[in-house]
Amino acid sequence: MVFLVVGVVLVIVSTPPVGVVLLVIGAFLLTPLAVIQPGQTRVVQYFGRYAGTTRRTGLVWVLPFSTRRNVSIRVNNFETNALKVNDADGNPVEIAAIVVWQVTDTARATFAVESYFDFVQVQSEAALRHVATSHPYDTNLPDTTSLRGSTDQVSAELAQEVAARVVVAGIEILEVRISHLAYAQEIAQAMLQPQQAGAVIAARERIVEGAVSMVEMAIQRLENESIVDLDEERKAAMVSNLLVVLCGDQRATPVVNTGTLYN
């Protein structure tokens, strides 16, 4: 083998025309070689015409004198900017979403749009704006879709709209999820007051319910164990005092009565 290689080298050196021809043939055979990583493809153009896509990984031989463009078919994701839009009721809200996507048609991704990365991002934000303006932020009406109360339904609707917009670029939308949703800062305090009031009312209901059960238990034990004999008027006074102490916002100040209830 060594003698063969040495002989070839001697032939090339001794006969320059043959050496040039062999070098040209070697360059012709080696130039089309390409290494393709897993999850990557090569879109091949032959003199400006689409010649196909190479999806096989490893060391691959493609057409000589062709141009090759690397296109990833791995799963990608990104988060849109927090967009300020008006919902269906005209209230300004801030909304953002996470989009999971993948290239399925490498030819369309390469030739149908200038940059499929920028294309999917711009179209995702456009779809997000449209969906956000189609629904109210929140609603008390039954069977009404809202951004806050119907997150899964809104996300599914958003995924369908994004998919319809980017199919021209050979891109498949795998998932879309709302990642941020809030009232705009200028109206957030005013719009959250009903929610805060509802939370206060719910908390008060639990406090009153617990206080009534505690008063009932106290009077029942006093009567069952014959600790003190209470008439209806004294029971009413005791209930009133206990409810004031248990339901008050501030700590009650104890007052010692040195007389009787009737004096």
What are residue 73's phi and psi, to 5 degrees?
-110, 20
- Which residue in 76, 77, 72 sits closest to 39, CA to CA? 72
Residue, of 98 and 48, whose pLDDT is higher: 98
Say if residue 170's pLDDT is above 80.
Answer: yes
- For the record, the structure tokens of 4 come out as 């063969």
| Angle at CA of residue 182, ends 179 and 186, nearest 5° | 145
Mean pLDDT of 190-219: 74
Which domains can be identified in the chain, with CATH numbers?
Answer: 2-71 (no CATH), 76-183 (3.30.479.30), 189-247 (no CATH)
For residues 209 and 195, give the distance between their C-alpha atoms in angstroms, rounded to a whole number: 21
The answer to whether 81 and 111 have CB atoms below 8 angstroms apart is no
Burial class (CB in 10 A: 0-12, 13-18, 19+), 163: middle
Say if residue 8's pLDDT is above 50.
Answer: no
Q: What is the pLDDT of residue 13?
A: 43
Give the pLDDT confidence of 157-168 residue by residue, as tens digits: 999 999 999 999
Measured between its terminal Cα atoms, the distance across the chain in Å is 126
172: β partners? 102
The answer to whether 201 and 207 have CB atoms below 8 angstroms apart is no
- For the record, the structure tokens of 174 come out as 């795998």
The answer to whether 166 and 173 have CB atoms below 8 angstroms apart is yes
Q: What is the pLDDT of residue 12?
A: 45
Give the pLDDT confidence of 24-64 residue by residue, as tens digits: 555 555 556 777 789 899 888 888 888 888 888 877 777 77
- The 8 Å CB, 24+ separation contacts for 77-82 are 77/101, 78/121, 79/179, 80/121, 80/124, 80/125, 80/128, 81/125, 82/180
Give the pLDDT confidence of 209-218 residue by residue, as tens digits: 887 888 788 7
- For the record, the structure tokens of 75 come out as 């799963």
Say if residue 259's pLDDT is above 80.
Answer: no
Mean pLDDT score across all residues of the chain:
80
Q: What is the pLDDT of residue 5?
A: 39
pTM across the whole model: 0.64
Q: What is the pLDDT of residue 122?
A: 96
Q: How many CA atoms lie within 13 A of 244 on its CB side?
A: 10
Residue, of 223 and 108, whose pLDDT is higher: 108
Q: How many CA atoms lie within 13 A of 120 on its CB side?
A: 25
Residue, of 256 and 154, whose pLDDT is higher: 154
Say if residue 20's pLDDT is above 70.
Answer: no
**Sorting pLDDT into bands at 50, 70 and 90, what band is 219?**
confident
Q: Which residues contact 220 (CB under 8 A, 6 or more apart)?
A: none
Residue type, 216: E
The answer to whether 64 and 51 have CB atoms below 8 angstroms apart is no
Say if residue 195's pLDDT is above 80.
Answer: no
